[in-house]
Chain A
Amino acid sequence: MINIRLKFVKGPETKYISHLDLVRTFQRALRRAHVPMVYSQGFNPHPEMSFASALGIGVTSLGEYLDIGVNENISTEEIISRLNNTLPAGLQIEKAAILKEKAKSAMALVSHARYTIHLCFDNSIDIDSSLASFLEQDNIPAMKEQPKKNFQLIEVDIRPMIKELKLLSQEGPKIVLDCLLSCGSKANLKPELLLQALRKHMKEIFEIKKIERVELYTDVTGKITSLLLIDNAG
């Protein structure tokens, strides 16, 4: 089996598609593209594919990752061009890399995600000082839903999961933030939860205009590195 990592965009046309629906959509696009997929063993064989991280409904992304297993040599250019002909509007493969043997999966690697967040406040505000005081806190408690426990709320400290949070641009009440948050199985912070805590801290009302994931990273001994550069055989 040859493992290939695909980096793709999830645009506005597909932002309301749940993760499960996305999996099915890719399976069918891969079939239409005649990508020679490897199938799992067992009673209910399914094509070998795994996504780095599920994206929230309503969030677009410029940097999603999917690992697939193929059983024939196929060039990355070929895969990109074939898949881009069979993916529905709102999904596009940007890059592909053939992985080294026994490479770790994107899902196992992912540790951080970068987002840009577009907010609109009721009034013009001093966002710089708000962000500074927000980040100065030793603990930032937030109430997180637990999907596996009937969506019961649990208090978590999200401060350690905020790696970066800064202002990208401001036009009066319109703010664009850039943030790097923990993402993956060890620690995971959704941007919505960060915004909930920020709202509480600022005591200001704002509307979330857009959230976009920009890139997914892995932590290589403290250095944040793009998933595409890891275990890349080429």
Chain B
Amino acid sequence: MNLNVKDYIYEKLLPRVEKPGRYIGTEWNSVHKDLEDIAIRFAFCFPDTYEVGMSHLGMKILYHLLNDQKDIYCERVFAPWTDLENLMREENIKLFSLESRDYIKDFDFVGFTLQYEMSYTNIINMLDLAGIPKLTSERGEVDTFVVAGGPCAYNPEPLSDIVDFFMLGEGEEQMLEVMEVYRQWKSKNLKREEFLRLASKIRGVYVPSFYDVTYNEDNTIKSIIPNRDGVPEKVKKRVIKDLNNAYFPDKIVVPFIDIVHDRIMLEIFRGCTRGCRFCQAGMIYRPVRERTVEDLLSLAEKLVESSGYEEISLSSLSTGDYSKLSELAEKLLSKYEKDRVGLSLPSLRIDSFSLKLLQEVQKVRKTGLTFAPEAGSQRLRDVINKNVTEEDLINSVGAAFDSGYSNIKLYFMIGLPTETMEDVEGIADLGYKVLDRYYQVPKGQRGKGINVTISTSSFVPKPFTPFQWEPQDTIEAMREKQKQLQKMLRKKGFSYSWSDPNLSFIEAVFARGDRRISKVLMRAWELGCKFDGWDEHFKYETWLQAFEDCGIDPKFYSQRRRELEEILPWSHIDVGVTKKYLKSEYKKALKGDTTRDCRSVCTGCGINLLEEGGVCK
């Protein structure tokens, strides 16, 4: 690439955008390599802004994992904000990587991480900006390979026209195996398809074009079958057996500009044993694997030293479940007190123990605490297996109010399976009970300015959860429930916020869509959809237009109750948790039976059969 183009981007385009700091690429610990020694160039793409993407732990891990390989140069790419995109299109500048500012269309791999369904149009937009053919069928021998991974890749089908291959599950080992296959393939000068064939033999790799899908007359799936020999019938996700021996970088890129999570993220464990039935993360990230306290202390030391960050955040799906949380917190606190490195504990279930811990940790009183009862009635909390009682909640907020907190956030979902208006009203009732508990604290002793924020998101049924067969609420039903809550929560001390039902509806379509809706994505992008997760960019009417243009009914995917025996679009993917277990959980849910936390006794989800010898303790 012409050196002048790189300078042109830097000197002429960046001064004209709102936040040029997003595109600098020379942050501390960013990796810059001499191209002479490089055999493989990998563009790690996050289909959202720099501030969102740089807060993502998986990217930090894989960026350094790849760059620790001498002959691989991994660079970062984020979705340019619309101001830069417009300039790039006006001046015919292609999408470039941050580090070298080279065009990514010339790289060996362009890899996307899929964190959220509503970022899919950004993937198409980025490929278009890059000048890479958008459809896998249009890519030829000279083109880059487009690969994707991340939680949404467990239902890869909606992106099957666009992505050449997927990597399912944890990437630390799989990624390097794919790179090794690529080295060998490249040295032998073989055809493009031959690489995909070789890669498909690596466990976790899924090549959509190697599978044929047929449909029944009612539009449900009839079969998903490999269309060539040697391709696995079921693609199994990858799992790192021992997290303590897994790769974790000892340095992380320290951004210049403020990002969403601007701190060290210390991953204390993966997986979750709680078994909430709506939660996809709780199912797909199994099994639970903890890092030891020693391992974490040593990691923390390296990361503090190399980054200069002033805060460590303990990262996991449910921090309070880490078996040695107080030991870890105390050791980190005492070790870093004099260096003034703070500790934060997100995803903490608040009880009296954790509240005490939180107060020790937060030298500066943070005014807000967040609780997630998820549903308004005990009946519905049992349905979703959120094993929290009203008493638990009142005790916890009570303890918080007693110690001076006056800002409480409560998260709920509306539209959960079996929900009635009574359950919805239970959300407001619970809010009032929380408020009452605040007023029980004598006036002189309680924090000033009570604010109970109640947020409701709309339930989106996700693959590989016990609710994968359930219909989503209609948009009208979601609105009605939101209106009822708006009415009931009109009182001093409450604030109520809710999510856009239109957005949840489209999200539900792509969460459980099949490969036929790939063309809807393309159409929506053609009609101008991008950054759909951003309020100011989401164009609902345009999305409906895209479905209509493609002759596809979105309600078929979001609002239809699926038969338990129906072949689901992701039934050729194996995440370890078995269909048998999900079915049994679904049936229990409908009866309101709970399932205990499997840390104490195995509940037979099947994850321990995924690997030989098992990975669960």
Interface residues, chain A, CB within 8 Å of chain B?
12-14, 16-18, 20-21, 24-25, 27-32, 39, 43-45, 57-58, 86, 88-90
Shortest CB-to-CB span from B605 to chain A, Å, is 42
Q: Is the CB of B21 within 8 A of A16?
A: yes
Shortest CB-to-CB span from B131 to chain A, Å, is 25
Please pick, from B20, B26, B339, B340, the residue contacting A57 in the complex, using a CB distance under 8 A: B20
Of residues 43 through 66 on chain B, the ones whose CB sits less than 8 Å from some CB of chain A are none
Q: Is the CB of B308 within 8 A of A32?
A: yes
Shortest CB-to-CB span from B588 to chain A, Å, is 48
- Stretch in B154-162, B252-260, B561-569 touching the partner: B252-260
Complex contacts, B339 vs chain A, CB 8 Å: 31
A27 to B339, CA, bound (A): 12
A86 to B28, CA, bound (A): 8
Q: Is the CB of A21 within 8 A of B20?
A: no
Complex contacts, B14 vs chain A, CB 8 Å: 16
Complex contacts, A30 vs chain B, CB 8 Å: 308
Please pick, from A27, A43, A86, the residue contacting B310 in the complex, using a CB distance under 8 A: A27
Let me know if B295 is at the binding interface, CB within 8 A. Answer: no
Complex contacts, A31 vs chain B, CB 8 Å: 308-310, 339
Contacts A13-B26, A31-B339 given; indicate if A21 touches B256 (C-beta within 8 A).
yes
Known contacts A45-B340, A90-B26, then 13 further A-B pairs from the complex at CB < 8 Å, ordered by chain A residue:
A16-B14, A16-B15, A18-B21, A20-B258, A21-B21, A28-B28, A30-B308, A31-B310, A32-B305, A32-B306, A58-B15, A86-B308, A88-B27
Let me know if B601 is at the binding interface, CB within 8 A. Answer: no
Shortest CB-to-CB span from A79 to chain B, Å, is 15
Q: Is the CB of A25 within 8 A of B256?
A: yes
Q: Is the CB of A13 within 8 A of B24?
A: yes
Let me know if B307 is at the binding interface, CB within 8 A. Answer: yes
Shortest CB-to-CB span from A45 to chain B, Å, is 7
The residue among B258, B305, B308, B364 with the most chain A CB atoms within 10 A of its own CB is B308
- 4 interchain residue pairs of minimum CB distance: A28-B308, A16-B20, A32-B308, A31-B308
Q: Is the CB of B310 within 8 A of A16?
A: no
Of residues 292 through 351 on chain B, the ones whose CB sits less than 8 Å from some CB of chain A are 305-310, 339-340
Q: Which residue of A has the minimal Cβ distance to B27?
A: A88
Shortest CB-to-CB span from A117 to chain B, Å, is 15
A86 to B305, CA, bound (A): 10
A-B contact pairs, 24 of them (CB 8 A): A12-B10, A14-B24, A14-B26, A16-B15, A16-B20, A17-B21, A21-B258, A24-B256, A25-B28, A25-B256, A27-B310, A28-B307, A28-B308, A28-B309, A29-B308, A30-B308, A31-B309, A31-B339, A32-B28, A39-B340, A57-B20, A58-B15, A88-B26, A89-B26
Complex contacts, A28 vs chain B, CB 8 Å: 28, 254, 307-310
The residue among A20, A30, A39, A88 with the most chain B CB atoms within 10 A of its own CB is A88
Q: Which residue of A has the minimal Cβ distance to B32?
A: A89
Q: Which residue of A has the minimal Cβ distance to B22?
A: A16
Q: Which residue of B has the minimal Cβ distance to A32?
A: B308
Complex contacts, B27 vs chain A, CB 8 Å: 88
A88 to B308, CA, bound (A): 12
A45 to B256, CA, bound (A): 21
Complex contacts, A43 vs chain B, CB 8 Å: 364
A66 to B310, CA, bound (A): 20
Complex contacts, B340 vs chain A, CB 8 Å: 39, 45
B383-408 toward A: CB 8 Å interface, digit per residue (1/0)?
00000000000000000000000000
A21 to B255, CA, bound (A): 9
A16 to B16, CA, bound (A): 11
Complex contacts, A32 vs chain B, CB 8 Å: 28, 305-308
Q: Which residue of B has the minimal Cβ distance to A43?
A: B364
A169 to B364, CA, bound (A): 56
A207 to B364, CA, bound (A): 49
A22 to B20, CA, bound (A): 14
Please pick, from A16, A24, A27, A44, the residue contacting B24 in the complex, using a CB distance under 8 A: A16
Shortest CB-to-CB span from A90 to chain B, Å, is 6
Complex contacts, B20 vs chain A, CB 8 Å: 16, 57-58
Complex contacts, B254 vs chain A, CB 8 Å: 28, 88
Complex contacts, B21 vs chain A, CB 8 Å: 16-18, 21
Q: Is the CB of A17 within 8 A of B256?
A: yes
Please pick, from B256, B307, B310, the residue contacting A14 in the complex, using a CB distance under 8 A: B256
Of residues 3 through 41 on chain B, the ones whose CB sits less than 8 Å from some CB of chain A are 10, 14-15, 20-21, 24, 26-28
The residue among A16, A30, A32 with the most chain B CB atoms within 10 A of its own CB is A16
Shortest CB-to-CB span from B3 to chain A, Å, is 14
B241-277 toward A: CB 8 Å interface, digit per residue (1/0)?
0000000000000101110000000000000000000
Q: Is the CB of B364 within 8 A of A21?
A: no
Complex contacts, A21 vs chain B, CB 8 Å: 21, 256-258
A89 to B21, CA, bound (A): 14
The residue among B14, B24, B306, B339 with the most chain A CB atoms within 10 A of its own CB is B24
Shortest CB-to-CB span from B12 to chain A, Å, is 10
Q: Which residue of A has the minimal Cβ distance to B14?
A: A16
Shortest CB-to-CB span from B367 to chain A, Å, is 12
Q: Which residue of A has the minimal Cβ distance to B20?
A: A16
A31 to B338, CA, bound (A): 12
Q: Is the CB of A88 within 8 A of B28?
A: yes
Shortest CB-to-CB span from B36 to chain A, Å, is 20
Complex contacts, B258 vs chain A, CB 8 Å: 20-21, 24
A114 to B308, CA, bound (A): 33
A45 to B28, CA, bound (A): 24
A13 to B339, CA, bound (A): 29
Complex contacts, A16 vs chain B, CB 8 Å: 14-15, 20-21, 24
A27 to B341, CA, bound (A): 12
Q: Which residue of B has the minimal Cβ distance to A58?
A: B15
Complex contacts, A20 vs chain B, CB 8 Å: 258
Shortest CB-to-CB span from A12 to chain B, Å, is 8
Complex contacts, B308 vs chain A, CB 8 Å: 27-32, 86
A45 to B340, CA, bound (A): 9
A39 to B364, CA, bound (A): 15
Complex contacts, A57 vs chain B, CB 8 Å: 20
Shortest CB-to-CB span from A184 to chain B, Å, is 26
